Structure 1
Amino acid sequence: MLVYDLEDSVARHRKQAARSMVAEALTSAPPGGPTLGVRINAPSSEPDLARADVDAVLRSERVESMVLPKVESARDLELVASAASPSVPLSLVLSVESASSLLRMPTILEHANLGAHVRVAALMFASEDYCAATGVQRTRDLQSLLYPRAQMATIAKAYGLQAIDMVCIEYKDHAYLQEECRDGASLGFDGKQAIHPAQLDAIHAAYSPSKEGDHD
């Protein structure tokens, strides 16, 4: 999935311009390409920005998915669902960025009133935001984030959702990226976030099913 970002990568005074650019990119995207998604501003902390993002993005029927950052309650999901067209299916990817989000996620999934046209498709672990919120220090051996990653993957599987692992911030270290991919696959993750095109081949190789139907 290719995700356009309207949140952290866009300065506040550039939000409206970014919405226009993303809406144009969605409208002009040729058919047959990757699934297109948009990461909006967080409904939990920036509801006005999030509503403006949703209104702008949903004018294009090409958007298939929305990434919701900093999910803390069912209301965050309902803000998007209430604006979505009943005639256009929309999937949501929920970003887990805090301890409270992780612990509340089962309740959020069970109580969100989304309607038939909107569904939660995946949970995504945002490691850097999680570390900033909790004081956890990310270690190269991956042990400091083992519990929240495994817990999130378990919740995703319990609710029939895809689990998307954290970004590898060492994007120039191909061997370490492969190690992270293997570790994520062993925990039950179905995919991994990428921040650089050079990461895609290793991620695809790690998470593409083998002939036996298992992870490589």
Structure 2
Amino acid sequence: LIFVPGNNPRFLEKAKKIQADIVCFDLEDSVPDNEKTNARKLIKSALKSRKLYTSSIFVRTNSPTSGKIPSDLQEVIQKGIDGIVIPKVNNIVELKKIEKILSKLEKAKNLKPLQIIPSIESAEGVVNTYSIASFGKRISAVVFGVFDLLNDLGVEYTKESKGAKYSRTKIPVDGHAAGVAVIDAIWQDLKDVKGLEKDCKIGKSLGYTGKSIIHPDQISIVHKLFHPNKNEILWAEKVCKIYLKSTKNGTGATTVDGKMIDEVHFKQAKALLELVKQ
């Protein structure tokens, strides 16, 4: 998921060639207050050229407490948008209010229900992650926002900061329990490629299924590290083949290359192969 400043026509144009899973036009942090109106208009115009973009298109609104979401949605909800990212979601009460506005606009504009990706960026949001992630069918993923969370906790950010460790671990557990994808926080230092690679590996090991990014140069690294590699795919194929044969023979649990596998491993392997197909 890559964020693109909504008030920058050049970046919106360049986004047509970006090979990210989700291109997210931003109305929040990257857009100053005096540029919000202009950004809404530019995004509205960009959505009219939806066919020229190869990725799913989302728009990040302003936060639920900003008072700007009604204006954001009024301008950008139209044909061509796949969903919205809502930053700084604290609880489902906020989501209910937003969904009410969204539903009215969808009905008025004859649109199918759009996806919602809530961003968890506060202590309250972390506590409520499961209820937020399981709010309804619109929720396709949750995303972790580390910088605002640390600010909420009164903790200074460093690359090795442990201040968000609990939150970063809890969010994917809650997300998977709710059955949605979980997107890790951004890596801010564009020059530190090794740091990004390390951070991706940590995120994947915690259960994140993707990562937010802020520059196109980060896309290939994130795709490489989050997408199953050749050995993982071959292993998954072997597990599925042998386990299905074993269950057909009435055995169930069996071994693959000397390692015990059962239904849990089969489900993991099957899920990995489904991800590859997508």
Same fold (TM over 0.5): yes
Q: State the aligned residue count.
A: 207
Report the counterpart of residue 206 of structure 2 in structure 1: 187
Q: Which moved more, 1:32-41 or 1:77-86?
A: 77-86
Amino acid at match of 1:129: D
The whole-number CA distance in structure 2 between the counterparts of 1:190 and 1:106 is: 16
The whole-number CA distance in structure 2 between the counterparts of 1:151 and 1:16 is: 36
1:65-104 maps to which residues of 2 (within 5 A)?
65-82=83-100, 83-84=102-103, 85-86=106-107, 87-104=111-128
The one of 22, 25, 31 aligned to 2:46: 25
The whole-number CA distance in structure 2 between the counterparts of 1:121 and 1:6 is: 20
TM-score, scaled to structure 2: 0.69
The whole-number CA distance in structure 1 between the counterparts of 2:153 and 2:184 is: 18
**1:160-216, Cα deviation, whole Å (9 max, x unpaired):** 01111111111111111100011100000000111111111100101112313389x
Gaps of 5+ in 1: none
Distance 1:158-1:198 versus aligned 2 partners, 3 A rule: same
Residue 200 (structure 1) aligned with residue 219 (structure 2) = yes
The whole-number CA distance in structure 2 between the counterparts of 1:184 and 1:91 is: 23
Shift of 1:32: 6.2
Matched-pair contact (CA < 8 Å) for 1:74–1:109: no
Gaps of 5+ in 2: 1-21, 237-271
Percent identity over the alignment is: 29
Shift of 1:140: 2.5
Matched-pair contact (CA < 8 Å) for 1:64–1:89: no
1:106-121 maps to which residues of 2 (within 5 A)?
106-109=130-133, 112=135, 119-121=138-140
Matched-pair contact (CA < 8 Å) for 1:68–1:92: yes
CA RMSD of aligned residues (A): 2.0
Tell me which structure has the larger Cα radius of gyration: 2
- Determine helix, strand or coil for the equivalent of 2:208: coil
**1:33-75, Cα deviation, whole Å (9 max, x unpaired):** 10000000112x123x1011011111x2111110101101223
Matched-pair contact (CA < 8 Å) for 1:194–1:200: yes
TM-score, scaled to structure 1: 0.88
